[in-house]
C-alpha cells in the first residue's frame, strides 16, 4: 500500500495533468479537490475535467472529486452554478425544509458536473462576531438551529447522491484568528463543547453525514496541549469523533497549507501524526513540490510501519464504502446547472431572508422623486475561503429595477478618505442614500457617519455578516442580506421599494443591540 492513497490531490489547470491521471490509475489516489481559482472556468469545462478524472479510476468506481460548494461567500464551482445566498441566509429564514431543498439542488448540480463530494455543510456555531474565517459561512449562533439546518442540508445532498462533509470538527466558532494564518487557541471546557460546539456535529452523524473535516486549532481541554492542532490529535479523532460519537465514515484534515500547521520539509511529521490520530485523507493544495514531499514521506512511513497496516486497511475500506455508495446514483444532465427551477429556489431563499433590523424614523418604502445614491465597497476575498472577488457590485443595478435615476459609487475595501469625501459630496445632492457595508471596520463606519451627517435619508445594509450595525449604531434604517449575490440584491431592492415585505430575522445576535430572532415585519 502506497502512501499516495492518503492524499486528496489537487493541481493547477482546467484539464487533468498526465501525472495526476497516472497517480489515480497506478498509485491508489482516489480523491481530488477542485479549487475555484485554479480549476474552474465554466460548467462545461468542469464536466469535461471530471470526466477525465473519473475515467482514470482503475476499479470503475466514482472518485471522490470534491469542491467547496458552500454557496454564498464560497462558491467553489463558479458562476455558472446557481447563486444561492448561503448558510446564514438560510439561518435568517430558519426553515429546515428550505435548507433540504437547497441542499438537493446544490447536490444535483454537483453531480451533473461530475463532482461527488461537497466540503459542506459548515457546522460551526457563529458565537464570536469577530471570528475572521467564519461569518456568513455559519447558519447561526444558535447550536440547535445550526444542527437542524446542517442535518437538513445533509439530507438534501444525500438525496442527490453527493457526499456531505461536516466541518470544522470539533467546532471553531470561537476562533479569534484565521487558521489560514496562525493556530487559533480555543479555551473551551467539555461542558461548553457538549452544549454548543458538538450539538451540530452530533446532528450531522444522526443525519448520515458522509465525512468529517477536522479543523486546525488548539483545544487544550480535549487534547491536553495548547499548541497541538485537533487535526493531529488522537483524542480528538479516534477518541471523541470515532469512539465517543460513533462516527465510522471518512475523516479528512482541513487544507495542509494553512499556517496553523508548520510548513516545509517537516510537514511529513504532522501528516503521519494525523493518520495515526485516525484521519483517512489529507487535504492538499496545488503545490506540486509539497505534494511530492508528502508522497515520499508517506511511502517511507508505510514501509517503516509508522502507519499500521490495519489502520491503513480500515481507512481504505471506509473510502471504498463511500465510493460504492456514490456509484448507486445516475449523473444528471448538464442542463441541471443553473436551471430555472434552481434559480427560482435561490430567489426564494433571498426573498425570505432579507431582514429589516430597524426603520426609525421610518423612511421605507423608498419613494425618491429624484436621484438615489447607491454606495458599496468593491467585493473582495476577505479570507482564502472566499470567492467574493468574482462577484460584481450589484447594489445599484438592483435598485435601478425600481427607480430610473440611481447614481453609483463603488469604494475600495476599505474606503479611502477620497472615497468617503466623494460619497458625501454625491449624497448632498441625492434624495436618498443606500449604503452597503461588508464586515464594517473603522473606515466603513466613517463612510456611513459621513453620509448620515449630510442629513439626507440614509439606509444602511449589512451585505455580509449582520454585525455591521455595531460599527455605526446611529443608523436609523438598517437591513441585512447575508449575501452580495444577485438574488439577494434583487430581494433587497424589492423590500426597499415596498414590493415585498421583509421576512427574515437575525440568525445571530448583534452584540449590545439586538438579540437573535429580532426582525421588523413590514
Of the residues 124, 254, 280, 468, only one is catalytic, namely: 254
Residues ≥6 apart with Cβ < 8 Å to 337 = 43, 80, 81, 82, 109, 112, 113
- Give the orientation angle of helix 309-326 with respect to helix 267-277, to 10 degrees: 80
254 is catalytic: yes
Residue in 23, 123, 30 with CA at minimum distance from that of residue 70: 123
Q: Can you tell me whether residue 232 is helix, strand or coil?
A: helix
* DSSP class of 4: G
Strands (E), 148-287: 163-169, 211-214, 250-253, 282-283
Rg of the chain over all Cα atoms, to the nearest angstrom: 23
Displacement of CA 372 from its chain's centroid (Å)? 33
Q: Of residues 37, 180, 181, 518, which has the active-site annotation?
A: 180
DSSP count for the chain of H helices, then E strands:
17, 16
368-398 as b/e: b if 16+ CB within 10 A: beebbbbbbbebeebbbbbbbeebebbbbbb
Catalytic residue status for 180: yes
Give all strands (DSSP E) within 224-344, no chain letters. 250-253, 282-283
Positive or negative: CA dihedral 352, 355, 359, 363? negative
The 3-state secondary structure of 297-321, one letter per residue: HHHHHHHCCCCCHHHHHHHHHHHHH
How far apart are the C-alpha atoms of 483 and 349, rounded to whole Å? Answer: 11
Query: Hey, which residues are catalytic here?
Result: 180, 254
Amino acid at each position: 500500500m502506497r502512501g499516495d492513497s492518503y492524499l486528496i490531490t489537487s493541481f493547477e489547470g482546467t484539464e487533468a495533468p498526465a501525472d495526476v491521471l497516472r497517480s489515480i490509475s497506478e498509485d491508489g489516489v482516489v480523491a481530488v479537490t477542485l479549487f475555484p481559482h485554479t480549476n474552474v472556468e465554466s460548467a462545461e469545462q468542469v464536466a469535461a475535467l471530471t470526466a477525465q478524472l473519473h475515467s482514470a479510476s482503475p476499479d470503475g468506481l466514482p472518485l471522490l472529486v470534491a469542491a467547496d460548494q458552500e454557496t454564498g461567500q464560497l462558491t467553489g464551482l463558479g458562476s455558472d452554478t446557481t447563486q444561492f445566498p448561503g448558510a446564514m441566509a438560510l439561518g435568517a429564514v430558519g426553515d429546515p425544509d428550505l435548507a433540504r431543498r437547497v441542499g438537493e439542488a446544490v447536490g444535483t448540480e454537483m453531480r451533473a458536473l461530475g463532482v461527488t463530494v461537497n466540503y459542506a455543510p459548515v457546522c460551526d456555531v457563529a458565537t464570536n462576531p469577530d471570528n475572521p474565517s467564519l461569518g456568513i459561512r455559519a447558519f447561526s449562533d444558535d447550536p440547535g438551529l445550526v444542527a437542524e439546518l446542517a442535518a437538513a442540508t445533509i439530507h438534501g445532498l444525500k438525496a442527490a447522491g453527493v457526499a456531505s462533509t461536516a466541518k470544522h470538527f470539533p467546532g471553531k466558532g470561537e476562533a479569534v484568528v484565521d487558521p489560514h494564518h496562525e493556530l487559533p487557541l480555543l479555551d473551551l471546557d467539555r461542558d461548553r463543547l457538549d452544549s454548543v460546539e458538538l450539538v451540530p456535529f452530533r446532528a450531522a452523524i444522526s443525519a448520515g453525514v458522509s465525512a468529517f473535516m477536522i479543523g486546525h486549532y488548539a483545544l487544550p481541554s480535549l487534547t491536553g496541549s495548547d499548541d497541538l492542532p485537533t487535526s493531529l490529535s488522537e483524542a480528538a479523532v479516534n477518541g471523541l469523533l470515532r469512539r465517543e460519537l460513533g462516527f465510522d465514515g471518512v475523516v479528512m484534515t482541513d487544507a495542509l497549507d494553512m499556517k496553523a500547521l508548520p510548513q516545509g520539509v517537516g510537514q511529513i511529521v504532522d501528516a503521519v501524526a494525523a493518520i495515526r490520530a485516525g484521519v483517512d485523507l489529507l487535504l492538499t493544495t496545488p503545490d506540486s513540490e509539497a505534494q511530492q514531499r508528502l508522497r515520499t514521506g508517506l511511502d517511507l512511513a508505510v514501509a517503516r510501519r509508522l502507519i499500521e497496516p490495519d489502520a491503513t486497511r480500515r481507512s481504505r475500506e471506509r473510502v471504498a464504502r463511500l465510493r460504492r455508495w456514490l456509484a448507486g446514483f445516475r449523473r444528471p444532465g448538464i442542463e441541471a446547472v443553473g436551471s430555472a427551477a434552481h434559480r427560482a429556489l435561490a430567489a426564494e431563499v433571498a426573498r425570505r431572508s432579507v431582514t429589516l433590523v430597524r426603520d426609525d424614523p421610518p423612511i421605507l418604502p423608498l419613494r425618491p422623486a429624484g436621484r438615489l445614491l447607491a454606495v458599496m465597497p468593491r467585493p473582495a476575498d476577505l479570507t482564502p475561503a472566499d470567492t467574493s472577488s468574482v462577484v460584481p457590485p450589484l447594489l445599484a443595478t438592483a435598485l435601478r429595477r425600481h427607480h430610473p435615476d440611481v447614481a453609483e459609487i463603488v469604494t475600495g475595501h476599505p474606503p479611502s478618505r477620497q472615497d468617503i469625501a466623494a460619497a458625501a459630496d454625491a449624497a448632498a445632492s441625492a434624495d436618498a442614500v443606500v449604503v452597503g457595508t461588508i464586515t464594517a471596520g473603522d473606515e466603513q463606519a466613517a463612510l456611513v457617519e459621513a453620509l448620515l451627517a449630510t442629513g439626507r435619508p440614509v439606509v444602511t445594509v449589512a451585505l455580509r455578516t449582520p454585525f455591521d450595525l455595531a460599527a455605526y449604531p446611529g443608523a436609523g434604517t438598517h437591513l441585512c442580506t447575508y449575501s452580495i449575490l444577485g438574488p439577494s440584491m434583487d430581494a433587497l431592492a424589492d423590500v426597499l421599494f415596498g414590493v415585498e415585505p421583509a421576512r427574515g430575522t437575525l440568525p445571530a445576535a448583534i452584540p449590545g443591540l439586538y438579540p437573535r430572532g429580532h426582525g421588523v415585519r413590514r
